[in-house]
Structure 1
Amino acid sequence: MSLLDNTFNQYSLSPSAAKRLSNKTISVPMMEAITPRWLLTFLPWVSTEAGIYRVNKVTREAKPEVFTNNLEEHNIPHSFPDYDPRPREYTLSIVQTVLKLNGQVTDLFNSPINQKQEQMRLTIEAMREQQEWEIINNSEFGLVASVDPSMKISSRNGSASPDDMDELLTKVWKKPAFFVAHPRSIAAFGRECTRRGVPPVAINLYGSPFLTWRGVPILPCDKLEIDKNTGTTNILLMRVGEREQGVIGLHQQGLPGECHIPSLSVHFGGIDSMGIASYIMTLYFGAAVLTDDSLGMLENVDVGRYHDYD
């Protein structure tokens, strides 16, 4: 071996040293709490003019009264619909937070990831998750609380069965759009269908597979809560859209400071003496059930005790 070979061996660059001198490819921050939020995607959204949506309803159906004109021997129908004198009004609800950013962070540590942009993105994701939860569970306008008593049925034998889902379809029989169920209740329903030899058909929507029943998609949503004590949850079925007199989402487009998505406003709240910048982020939204027969619910669906899957 020559002296030249020994010199090269002595100064050979090790992989560990090379790693310290190389640029790393890094990901944007990952957030496990983000879900597909299919309900927000499938729900038709209606923009309000001033944050209020009024649902006018007919309280007396128009039934023609027929009178006979003896002279001309023609039947002349007379009818008129009566409207609810006190229609329900939905005022947009809000999810609001204040995002605080250290000026040092955005000045010095802003490459290769834009820290302000990523902090806002993650905050918006959290706000949207809360938005979907409120649309389902809010005590005033949430879908679970808005189901008319006549549109509720209870599971026959605990877990959701084809018979239960069929009965729910008899409640919302006029153009049902989709079911909404917790992923664990969908799994339990799938097992029951397979046990009976009628496995549900899967279809592809928005690039993702969905189980269906009688051709109606079943949307997974973890915001339908499971009771920790009983291990039960609910399944929703709805007709949607204004034209179909169904369930709709509410928002208001074109807000001052609107950012990223409709009805989300971001306002700069100033910088304090410590160099902390504040951004007030507000998401306005709501939901309305236009007619009682557009929303049904299967109650007491057993998916197992909470500790079984915690």
Structure 2
Amino acid sequence: MSPQPQSSAPLSLSAQSARNLATATVTPPQWDEITPRWLLKLLPYVDVDGGVYRVNRVKQKEGAPTLDLLTVDDGEPKLPATFVDYEEDPREHHLSTIQTVLHTHTRITDLYSNAIDQLREQVRLTVEAVKEREEWELLNHPQFGLLHEVAPEQVIKTRSGPPTPDDLDELLAKVWKKPAFFLANPKAIAAFGREATRRGVPPPTVTLFGSPFITWRGIPLIPTSKIAVDDSGKTSFLLVRVGENQRGVVGLQKAGVTGEIEPGLSVRYMGTDERSLASHLVTRYFSVAVLGEDAIARLDDVFIGNYHEYVYPKA
């Protein structure tokens, strides 16, 4: 008797066929350009109700307030009269605006929002982009960006090229009244860590917001990609003091606006047109102010090597 022919039919359901009946587990859209934006978390914000923040300062004369004081050791001398004078033309900070209109087709949001809400994801990603832009402007804006707000006497240069403990000590000598944090490109912070370790003083770490940061003299070094590295491999460090009570650096925002989803940030529905496109206006009102000249200092010519750093583009 001849052998039975072998059957070519599969012995079980194939994985490819089974996948047709399965529902995939999906993730929200992943965007590599999103950063932690530590600066936005560390800055204390002031609500600017009228849209203008006026910084009143005491009038200085040769580096000291115009006060007539007398130290008395004995006797009854005639006491001087005095007063504290103010600058007559104080600086005013007007809030800047980051704004865009988000378009979504109602057919897309109606049909394809079963696992993840399409409109909510579009809003989330647009808000992320707005916050990235805000942090870039807080550092680089030509009128109020912190890199441009440093007084000339508060700017120093590196001693040898790479950032050293000596360089950061010089910054601390400039901002010695309750300094809050250093701010630098991640590559510059890594270069400092290597230099400090090479000198036998590896920097300790501290945990903020659940993440570790290296420190120098107890002050955390906060990384940000918004401080650029130029084509020659050079960048800058900032050291800041923060808070109104400390005459430091403060963020400015306008809270309580229509459609607010968090202080100073609103998403406002603008209607649906004849093409079924729904429009939402996304708005952020913001700025930053340096209350005292000694609240911020900058270290320039920090060399980390030939590295071209991405710079967040302007609109």
TM (norm. structure 1) is 0.92
Distance change (3 Å), C-alpha of 1:131 and 1:309: closer
C-alpha distance in 2 between matches for 1:131 and 1:145: 16
Aligned to 2:40: 40
Aligned to 2:149: 146
The AA in structure 2 aligned to 1:64 is: D
Distance change (3 Å), C-alpha of 1:147 and 1:309: closer
The 8 Å contact of residues 230 and 309 in structure 2, kept in 1 or not, is answered as no
Aligned to 1:274: 275
The AA in structure 1 aligned to 2:127 is: I
Query: By how many angstroms is 1:271 displaced?
Result: 1.8
C-alpha distance in 1 between matches for 2:50 and 2:309: 46
Query: By how many angstroms is 1:20 displaced?
Result: 1.8
2:256 to 244, 248, 254: 254
| Residue 64 (str. 1) matches residue 65 (str. 2) | no
Distance change (3 Å), C-alpha of 1:10 and 1:216: closer
The residue correspondences of 1:15-34 to structure 2 (distance < 5 A) are: 15-34=15-34
The 8 Å contact of residues 67 and 77 in structure 1, kept in 2 or not, is answered as no
Query: By how many angstroms is 1:66 displaced?
Result: 4.0
Structure 2 unpaired stretches of 5+:
1-5
The 8 Å contact of residues 67 and 76 in structure 1, kept in 2 or not, is answered as no
The AA in structure 1 aligned to 2:166 is: D
What CA deviation, in whole Å up to 9, does each residue of 1:139-187 have, x standing for no partner?
A: 0000001000000000111111111000110000110000001000000
Query: By how many angstroms is 1:107 displaced?
Result: 1.2
Query: By how many angstroms is 1:78 displaced?
Result: 2.4
The 4+ residue runs of structure 1 with deviation greater than 3 A are 64-68, 307-310
Aligned to 2:3: none
C-alpha distance in 2 between matches for 1:23 and 1:184: 42
Structure 1 unpaired stretches of 5+:
1-5
Distance change (3 Å), C-alpha of 1:67 and 1:184: closer
Query: By how many angstroms is 1:306 displaced?
Result: 2.5
The 3-state SS of whatever aligns with 2:99 is: strand
C-alpha distance in 2 between matches for 1:241 and 1:250: 11
C-alpha distance in 1 between matches for 2:240 and 2:205: 19
| Residue 204 (str. 1) matches residue 200 (str. 2) | no
Query: Share of identical aligned residues, percent?
Result: 48
As a proportion of its length, which structure holds more helix?
1
Q: How many residues align?
A: 299
C-alpha distance in 2 between matches for 1:38 and 1:279: 27
Aligned to 1:219: 222
The AA in structure 2 aligned to 1:287 is: V
Aligned to 2:126: 123
The 3-state SS of whatever aligns with 1:82 is: coil
C-alpha distance in 2 between matches for 1:235 and 1:66: 42
1:133 to 118, 133, 136: 136
Aligned to 1:303: 304
The 8 Å contact of residues 55 and 91 in structure 2, kept in 1 or not, is answered as yes
